């Protein structure tokens, strides 16, 4: 049902884009709009991972990092029967994580230093498994395409007043309404796709790590941290908010049309149901110990270099 809903929402996004092109310049405008969207998607498809990682100043983590994060990602990727993605660290105190890449062969998992310090070994494994599920399900590619479509629709809507065809078909009031409603509709579809894929990734991630309660406990901790700790890079680039496991922008505590993520309590409830209704057990914390049995990540002395040297 999740894949069917995603397909229907993608079809709605495509129809909206084509309809906007038609209203602006007839059948020729519809074709031009599709060509523009195709070019934008092709560029984003090949460069999305590098672009997003650069936006958040992510630093690559080597295979032999002392925290054991790379080892964890590799082991869970083997459990998921998928290629091992690149691993990145983002130097921000907000606990969070995301995955990016056009396919499982060209993907990356990025976690924040705040996540490494906040979660237990088991909770971190649940988060990594969730992000691997996004990669394996090709969600990173889907969200890249929908984000590009949404941006293209907003761009075309802003151009609407410069095309006589749209004024003739809709009038000035209709054209102004289209400029407002078309980007809004595109954003709603994009958010709906994101919420649909989060539930699917929670389920698949719990299956990859084998313990739904690990992820449930992690979501609870991340929500508590993200709601009170700012993520400056995410605030500067709000279009990437839907990629994170928890909304980094402190928005919407419940399911709604305008939420990029499902309500965290609903996600936790679904994971507990997978585990038979048990409540997650809080994991003991040791500030000086990293979650996977290695050393805790250190703050970089030289801000031009990553926390891993």
Indicate whether 150 pLDDT > 70: no
280-305 per-position pLDDT tens digit: 444 444 333 444 444 444 444 343 33
Structure tokens given for 16? 């909206």
When comparing pLDDT for 266 and 66, which is higher? 266
The pLDDT value recorded for residue 186 is 56
Phi-psi map region of 123: left, alpha, beta (phi>0 left; psi -120 to 50 alpha): alpha
CB 118 within 8 A of CB 222: yes
Which of 1-15, 271-285, 294-308 bottoms out in mean pLDDT, i.e. has the lowest?
Answer: 294-308
The pLDDT value recorded for residue 236 is 85
- Active-site residue numbers? 131
Q: Which residues contact 59 (CB under 8 A, 6 or more apart)?
A: 88, 89, 90, 91, 305, 306, 307, 308
The pLDDT value recorded for residue 140 is 83
The pLDDT value recorded for residue 32 is 73
In this prediction the pTM is 0.72
171-184 per-position pLDDT tens digit: 555 555 555 655 56
pLDDT averaged over every residue in the chain: 76
């Amino acid at each position: 049902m999740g894949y069917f809903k995603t397909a229907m929402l993608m079809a709605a996004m495509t129809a909206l884009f084509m309809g906007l092109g038609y209203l602006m310049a007839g059948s020729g405008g519809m074709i031009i709009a599709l060509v523009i969207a195709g070019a934008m998607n092709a560029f984003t498809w090949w460069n999305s991972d590098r672009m997003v990682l650069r936006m958040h100043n992510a630093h690559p983590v080597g295979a032999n990092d002392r925290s054991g994060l790379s080892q964890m990602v590799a082991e869970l990727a083997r459990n998921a029967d998928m290629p091992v993605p690149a691993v990145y660290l983002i130097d921000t105190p907000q606990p969070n994580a995301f995955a990016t890449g056009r396919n499982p062969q060209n993907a990356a998992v990025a976690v924040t230093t705040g996540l490494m310090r906040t979660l237990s070994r088991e909770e971190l494994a649940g988060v990594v498994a969730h992000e691997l599920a996004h990669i394996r399900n090709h969600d990173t590619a889907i969200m890249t395409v929908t984000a590009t479509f949404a941006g293209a629709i907003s761009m075309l809507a802003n151009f609407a007043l410069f095309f006589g065809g749209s004024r003739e078909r809709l009038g000035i009031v209709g054209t102004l309404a289209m400029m407002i409603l078309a980007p809004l509709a595109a954003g709603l579809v994009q958010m709906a796709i994101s919420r649909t894929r989060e539930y699917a990734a929670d389920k698949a991630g719990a299956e990859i790590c084998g313990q739904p309660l690990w992820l449930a406990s992690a979501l609870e901790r991340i929500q508590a941290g993200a709601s009170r700790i700012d993520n400056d890079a995410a605030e500067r680039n709000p279009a990437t908010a839907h990629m994170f496991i928890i909304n980094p922008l402190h928005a919407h505590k419940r399911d709604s049309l305008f939420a990029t993520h499902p309500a965290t309590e609903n996600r936790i409830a679904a994971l507990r149901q997978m585990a038979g209704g048990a409540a997650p057990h809080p994991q003991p914390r040791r500030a000086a110990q990293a979650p996977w049995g290695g050393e805790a990540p250190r703050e970089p002395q030289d801000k031009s270099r990553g926390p891993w040297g």
